[in-house]
Amino acid sequence: MNKLLIVGTVAFDAIETPFGKTDKILGGAATYIGLAASHFKVQSAIVSVVGDDFPQEYLDLLSSRNIDLTGVEKVSGGKTFFWSGRYHNDLNSRDTLDTQLNVLAEFNPVVPENFKDADVVMLGNLHPNTQISVLDQMTEKPKLVVLDTMNFWMDCALEELKEVMKRIDVITINDEEARQLSGEYSLVKAAEVIRQMGPRYVVIKKGEHGALLFDKHDVFFAPALPLKEVFDPTGAGDTFAGGFAGYLAQSSNISFKNMKNAIIYGSNLASFCVEKFGTKRMEEIAKVEVKDRLQQFKMLTQFDIELSE
């Protein structure tokens, strides 16, 4: 089985949407990535850090998905990273109410010995220096490195971000961030500028409007599944990235054609994520549900026009 190394936050979130609010619940980029990737036949490990306020049951949940947590440091006397946000009525935008870095402020990632040869590395949203440190610890060059990042790092650590971008194969980034990073409004032009910063593949996430995959020559688009209810978008982007990386790690096929499938699987899993608060829906997805949604994605996008018409 191929190995997938995931780096990112394992954290507490407190979320407010128009439909309700939560106290501190399980959150974090690596959590969502790990849960999504657990739908594929891969050996996964998370590199992260928590405080000793972090409930064992949350860690047990991840372990029960066969995710190796050797690389999750528990800082004694430390407090876990905490994020709190409130979504606007359209669920497309949100305000951050509180961010407490806590143990994340001093985080030095340590890659477990038996994941230093991981086939795929998924660098979840974190300080670019943390992401670089993980790549530096790899003893074998991974077949694929996927990077997720956000505007925060463009604002405060742009040079470091540019360094890590030189060492990755795929970047996943949202549309506004792609525009900010490239200085181009057109996403086609933005992807080209970003590609020239390092990654061969650029994935632009447009939330409810789907996702685009670019390489030098081709472009592929996957819509988000139209849903009757979107309850909480938290973690959808990470879930998408986890599905994408998990599928590619399982299949060991890094072609554009296979990346299309990975994008569809990412969108598929993200469509579940938004249906309940936090990780709730991700914890309960049955295999047959993923298969059913795959069929729905086919119905949604596939057509049959003869070009000779």
Give the nearer residue to a second copy in terms of CB position, either 55 or 185. 185
Q: Which of 188, 252, 253, 255 binds a second copy (CB under 8 A)?
A: 188
Q: Which of 110, 154, 197, 300 binds a second copy (CB under 8 A)?
A: 300
- Can you name the residues that pair with 115 across neighbouring β-strands? none
Q: How far is the CB of 172 from a second copy (least distance, A)?
A: 17
Q: Is 56 in the site for a second copy (CB under 8 A)?
A: no
Q: Which stretch binds a second copy (CB under 8 A): 26-34, 47-55, 114-122, 214-222?
A: 214-222
108: alpha, beta or left? (left if phi > 0; alpha if psi -120 to 50): beta
Q: How far is the CB of 256 from a second copy (least distance, A)?
A: 10
Q: Is 230 in the site for a second copy (CB under 8 A)?
A: yes
Number of residues that bind a second copy (CB under 8 A): 38
Q: Which of 110, 150, 219, 254 binds a second copy (CB under 8 A)?
A: 219
Give the nearer residue to a second copy in terms of CB position, either 167 or 293. 293
Residue among 16, 27, 36, 64 at smallest CA distance from 282: 36
Q: Is 223 in the site for a second copy (CB under 8 A)?
A: yes
Residue among 45, 9, 51 at smallest CA distance from 30: 9
Q: Which stretch binds a second copy (CB under 8 A): 9-17, 132-140, 145-153, 219-227?
A: 219-227
Q: How far is the CB of 241 from a second copy (least distance, A)?
A: 18
Q: Distance between CA 179 and CA 202 in Å, rounded?
A: 13
Q: Is 277 in the site for a second copy (CB under 8 A)?
A: no
Classified as helix, coil or strand, 299 is: helix
Q: Is 218 in the site for a second copy (CB under 8 A)?
A: yes
Q: Which of 173, 264, 269, 285 binds a second copy (CB under 8 A)?
A: 264
Residue 204's contacts (CB-CB under 8 Å, 6 or more residues apart) are 173, 174, 175, 178, 187, 190, 191, 211, 212, 214
Q: Which of 229, 286, 287, 288 binds a second copy (CB under 8 A)?
A: 229
Q: Identify whether the C-beta of residue 118 lies closer than 8 Å to the C-beta of residue 112.
A: no
186: alpha, beta or left? (left if phi > 0; alpha if psi -120 to 50): beta
Q: What are phi and psi of 143, to 5 degrees?
A: -65, -30
Classified as helix, coil or strand, 108 is: coil
Residue among 111, 45, 125, 33 at smallest CA distance from 83: 125
Q: Is 288 in the site for a second copy (CB under 8 A)?
A: no
Binding site for a second copy (CB under 8 A): 89-90, 185-189, 206, 209-210, 212, 218-221, 223, 226-230, 257, 260-261, 264-265, 291, 294-295, 298-305, 307
